[in-house]
Structure formats: C-alpha cells, structure tokens
Chains A and B, each alone.
Chain A
C-alpha cells in the first residue's frame, strides 16, 4: 500500500489543456473521489496516475517513488474500467489469474490467491463461468477481484458503477467500500455522480476545465464550498449575488443577507452567498421572530414537488427561483401560489468570492 502524490501536473492535447497545474495528495489507505463534469480532466488525471499517459510537466509519486515516466505495466497499480474490460476468451478464474500469471507466479499460489479474491467479492463458485454468462454486477466484481489479486499499491476506478442500474449501484457502493476497508488499499475513484462521491469517499477533489476547484472531506466541501461551481456541483444550492458587506452581502434591491461562514472578504467586493435548500425554514406567518434564523425573505410558492419523505418548494422572490426542501413531518403542506416567509441562519450561509 502506498500514498500517491500528484504535484503541479499539466497535460495538453494540442491546444486543449486537459490538466492545468493540478496538485493533490492522496493519503495512504484513503478512499478518494475525483468528481467533475465530463471534460473536466478527471479521467485524464486518473490515466496519468495509472501510467497510460505521461504528463507534460509535474511530478507523480506512488509510495514516495517517482513514477511519472514509468509505464503502466511497471507501476503495480490495479484498475477497474468503466465497461469492466474482462477478457472474453478467458473464464472468470483465468481473468482473475491473469495478473499473477504474467508475473510468473507458481500455479498453486495462483489458484489459492484467485480463490481468495473471488471469495472476497462473493463470487467463490463462479470461477468456471465465462464473462458473457455473468450479470453486470457480477462482471463488476470480477473486474474488482482481478484488479486487487496482484496486491497493487493503489486501486484506480474509472466510473466503475456507471453501467449499473440504480439499485445495484447502491449495493455495489456498499460492497466496494467494504472491500476497500478490508484490504486497506489507497483508492482513487473517478465519477461524475455527486451522490456516489459523497457517500463513498473520505475526500473529494472537484475538477473543472482541467483545474482542481476544491479538495477536502465531503462534509467540508458540502458545508463550506469555496466557489459557486463547487456549491452547485456537489449538491444543490441557492445562490445570492451582490456586494460584500464584510459579514454577508447586500442584494441589488438593498436586502442584506448575513453570513457566518466562508471567505473573508473586504466590504464592497462582488460576492455571492450559497444556502443549501434543506437549511431554509418555510412558513406562512410573518411574525414569528427567531434570533438564530435571522435571514428573512418573503416570496410566493410557485411549485411544489412531493417526493414521499420530503417536499421541494420552488419559491419565487424578486424574479429569482429559490429551492427549499422540507422533511415530511405530517405538518400542513403549503399550496402553490401561497405567500411565504423564508428564514435561515447566517451559519448556513456561505460567503463566496465572485468569479
């Protein structure tokens, strides 16, 4: 096992800068998600770490060893591909055995290790099958067993759950996490699914246009996004734009919004505030004062979407559509067209520098 350090890595394809001076420290044994929209450079970064492609500049180390010019077959990594990439001409057991076999391991060692790996992914009895006789979830497990049986220093996953249906995906998330904990391998996981990134990883790196936008534990990124992009890409957020007052912003119509967290900005600078939809209280009465929830806005319900355990209200306020999520507590539901008051705390209001 080993940590991975990426330092100042850049990679261009013609005029297109796929990676622009990216630095991330992947701690030993951690589960790391690289999150970003398509074209953000997350797969390119994974391929630099794997060794399928070399950076134009910058350094990559695995376990302290400099590898940026070492080809993939010498890096001792394990990789799971989006479409599994199982060898169609081999049985499940031969697929898993491949990495050990090309290293020239003894037959007895190979069969023991293969069985152990198949047991770990709960496919102990399916070794004789062919990949085309397996379901999507089973193929996924074979791909995982094949990647970890060689005891790689780092496990790289390229959107491994993208081809599975939703229910199976949740199962596999849990399963993947369990196996990762069990063998304690440093894992780097590329995904465009924010929920997957939030539920599975110890740390998340958000990429956009080849740059690392923000990096940290899921809670930190969710609670204190440093940019509008991070706020809206990882989860939902209401964004208010205006001028900084030092401890909040003033909207163009003069309304002040107080902020207790986020960037420290000089008064007068262009700034935004991000508020998560579930942090906002919605009510019909105008009078109930609440010291903690000192940010108050009036609006009108324009749409309600009922989702069982919660409801999402779209509230129109001065031409801006605000999103509020309310848990289903059995209380009276608000009707579309109703005048409402929104309240939330400055501690739920993240101040973000504009741009």
Chain B
C-alpha cells in the first residue's frame, strides 16, 4: 500500500515537472507581456500598454497577417492535394508506386536550411524569385508530405469493402469518395491540415530565405525585431498567437476525438 502511494506520488511529481518544463517559459513570457518593465524587472506591475502599442506597430501586424494568410492558403492547398494524393496511392496500383511513397519521407528529414537554400537557387533559376508567393510555394512543398503521411495512415484503417458496398449500391466514384471514404478519413485530413498550418505558420528558415525586405512573415519579423532590440510587443503578439492556436487545437481535439473513440 505504502509503496504504491509513493510510486503514485513520484509519478505525479514527474508529470508536474514535465508540464513545468513545457509550459513555464511560455507562462513567464505571457506574464511579462503584462508587465510594465520592458526588461523583465520585478516587482510585477500590471499593464496592457504593450498590447496597445502592438496596434501601432504596423510592420508587426502586417507580418502577422502575411503569416496567417500564407498558412491558411498553404493549409487549404496541402489538404486538398495531399488527401487526393493519398486516395490515389490507396486505390491504384502502378509501376514505381513504392518508390514514389518512399520519396515522400526524405523532405521531412532534410534540414530546412538546405531546403531553403535549394529553393532560393531554384526559384531564381526558373524566374519565380522571392516574395510572398515564393514563400507560399515553399510552404506548400514543405507541408505536403506531412498531409500525405497522416491521411495515408488513416486510410490504412479503412475497410475497402465499404467502397465496394457503396459501388454495388450504384454510387459512382465521386459519390463513393464524398459519402463513404471522406467521412472516414476526415480526422486524418483535419490532423494533416493542422500539421500543414503549423509547418507554415512556424516556418522561419525557408521564409527567411525567400522573403523580401518589407514583405515578411511573423517569425522573420520577430527575428529581425529582436536583432534590432527586444520589445515586449513581441511577448504580446506571441501570447495572442499561443492563446489562439491552443484554442484551435483543443477545439479540433474535442471534435475529432484524437484521443480515440470514447
């Protein structure tokens, strides 16, 4: 009895430590975004000054909107293309399919620094150049394999007889996909979309290579701002983003039962 209780206590302590390790820096940053002192000085004095001045920082706001726009568009493109590709890989047998599937993994493992350099050189070579469009293109290329891997994993749990049953009832290919297959893989599509959003929204290296001065994304802008001199506005914008993205994650987790069927 006593040993179980000690073990249980140790377990709780360990989980507490883990959560502290994960969240403490974020919590401190969020707190400091409400502190009067721009230099993390204590005692803590409440203010919303940094949030107010954030609205005045046009550059930071523009960069935020760029990031959101690029991430949303990249997510939509990756989710549609990636899901379609996963379905094609699931349904059809063709020469070189295994090879093609194997080729999906290396881009995930190649360091972004190298991918970014390669993209910069390539985009210049073919005349795409730099700018927000180039960043979007780069993000789509980076995030697409994630969607395909996640949706394909979900498709592995799909019973092929369901498609056969639908066809035997007179459904054409589109009706089968829309009414039987898609509802089944939807949690995978949503998860893949979240991955794509995260890859794009978090992306620094590739964006940094492909951005032009004045037309950047949030991570690049934050990096540039910190180099010029730190301002608590960065804390403020980061806090907003954390709150929004955590709410988004919790909502999806709630609706799509990532923890499994209950």
Residue of A nearest to B184 (CB): A89
Q: Which listed segment binds A: B14-22, B162-170, B215-223, B229-237? A: B162-170
Contacts of B180 in A (CB 8 A): 87, 89
- Other A-B contacts than A74-B170, A146-B165, 10 sampled, CB-CB below 8 A, are A52-B164, A73-B167, A73-B169, A73-B172, A79-B164, A85-B161, A87-B162, A88-B162, A98-B171, A156-B168
Q: Which of B157-192 contact A (CB under 8 A)?
A: 159, 161-162, 164-172, 175, 179-180, 183-184
A102 touches B164 (CB 8 A): no
A150 touches B170 (CB 8 A): yes
Query: Chain B's nearest CB lies how many Å from the CB of A163?
Result: 12
B169 touches A85 (CB 8 A): no
A72 touches B184 (CB 8 A): no
Contacts of A87 in B (CB 8 A): 162, 165-166, 179-180
A-B contact count (CB 8 A): 64
Q: Which of A125-156 contact B (CB under 8 A)?
A: 146-147, 150, 156
- Alpha-carbon gap, A83 to B183, bound state (A): 20
Query: Chain B's nearest CB lies how many Å from the CB of A292?
Result: 53
A102 touches B168 (CB 8 A): no
Query: Chain A's nearest CB lies how many Å from the CB of B156?
Result: 16
Query: For the complex, is A210 an interface residue (Cβ under 8 Å from B)?
Result: no
Contacts of A103 in B (CB 8 A): 170
A73 touches B179 (CB 8 A): no
- Alpha-carbon gap, A81 to B161, bound state (A): 8
Given contacts A89-B183, A89-B184, contact A81 B164 (CB under 8 A): yes
Given contacts A52-B164, A81-B165, contact A73 B171 (CB under 8 A): yes
Given contacts A50-B168, A76-B170, A89-B184, contact A102 B162 (CB under 8 A): no
Q: Which of A55-95 contact B (CB under 8 A)?
A: 71-74, 76-79, 81, 83, 85-89
B169 touches A102 (CB 8 A): yes
Contacts of A184 in B (CB 8 A): none
Contact among A71, A83, A89, A98 with B169 in the assembled complex (CB-CB below 8 Å) = A98
Given contacts A81-B164, A81-B165, A88-B184, contact A73 B170 (CB under 8 A): yes
Q: Which of A80-125 contact B (CB under 8 A)?
A: 81, 83, 85-89, 98-99, 102-103
- Alpha-carbon gap, A74 to B162, bound state (A): 17
Contacts of B179 in A (CB 8 A): 87, 98, 102
Counting contact residues on chain A (CB < 8 A from B), the size range is 20 to 34
Query: Chain A's nearest CB lies how many Å from the CB of B63?
Result: 41
- Alpha-carbon gap, A85 to B179, bound state (A): 14
Residue of A nearest to B186 (CB): A89
B168 touches A77 (CB 8 A): yes
- Alpha-carbon gap, A40 to B175, bound state (A): 34
Query: Chain A's nearest CB lies how many Å from the CB of B188?
Result: 14
- Fill in one digit per residue for A282-298: 1 if any B CB lies within 8 Å of its CB, else 0: 00000000000000000
Contacts of A50 in B (CB 8 A): 168
Residue of A nearest to B173 (CB): A73
Contacts of B167 in A (CB 8 A): 52, 71-73
Contact among A73, A83, A88, A89 with B168 in the assembled complex (CB-CB below 8 Å) = A73
Most chain A Cβ neighbours within 10 Å, of B164, B168, B171, B184? B168
Contacts of A99 in B (CB 8 A): 169-171
- Alpha-carbon gap, A86 to B165, bound state (A): 8
Given contacts A87-B180, A89-B184, A98-B179, contact A146 B169 (CB under 8 A): yes
Can you report 14 residue pairs joining A to B where beta carbons are below 8 Å apart? A71-B167, A73-B169, A73-B170, A73-B172, A76-B170, A79-B164, A79-B168, A83-B159, A86-B165, A87-B162, A98-B171, A102-B166, A102-B170, A102-B175
